[in-house]
Amino acid sequence: MSAVVLELPSDLRHELKEPLGEIYTDTAALLADAGDPIIAVGDMVTYHLIEAGRVPDLALVDERTKRSAVDADVAATINGFDRTRAVANPAATLTAELLAALREGIDNDETTLLDVEGEEDLATLPAVLAAPAGASVVYGQPDEGMVLADCGEAARDRDRVRSLLERMDGDTERAFDLVSV
């Protein structure tokens, strides 16, 4: 198991409920507004993007949605990636393994699927900071839709994301180093 670099304290959980961008229920509309590359965090988001004909450049999945296993047809649809890598990341944490794999996936020219043993939810935060200008991070907002987070240098949410990561328990400097921000 990879070393935990950051852990979400319970007093920050409520701040993660506010979306980092616009919420979409129509995948085609989301794709029309999305930048490039696209980083997908979550099984259902990845599924909907692939069903719409767009394999994400980087996707992180854990074979779960709302704490339950995804349907077999959803799991079977999540394919078509050039590379697949398994990483460990316990719930409410960010491990060195996940952060390094995230950076590697962003830097790689091939499409990459990170199959997370544990939970991938918090990967949205470092993905927003590590993604290049013009990229989009897409993640699920339970019972509402898909959130399209802008990763431009001027995006106000980058400051919010940095603040959230800095207030997590652990070694923020190491986390930023692992994702090169």
> Is residue 51 exposed (0-12), middle (13-18) or buried (19+ Cβ within 10 Å)?
exposed
One-letter identity of residue 130: A
**120 marked as binding residue:** yes
- 117 labelled as ligand-binding? no
Separation CA 80–CA 170 (nearest Å): 35
Answer yes or no: is 43 a known binding residue.
yes
121 belongs to an annotated ligand binding site:
no
Inter-residue contact 120 to 62 (CB < 8 Å): yes
Closest CA to 107 of 81, 127, 77: 127
State yes or no: 119 annotated in a binding site: no
Contacts of 152 (CB under 8 A, 6+ apart): 133, 134, 158
- Residues in the annotated binding site for GTP: 43, 45, 62, 120, 143
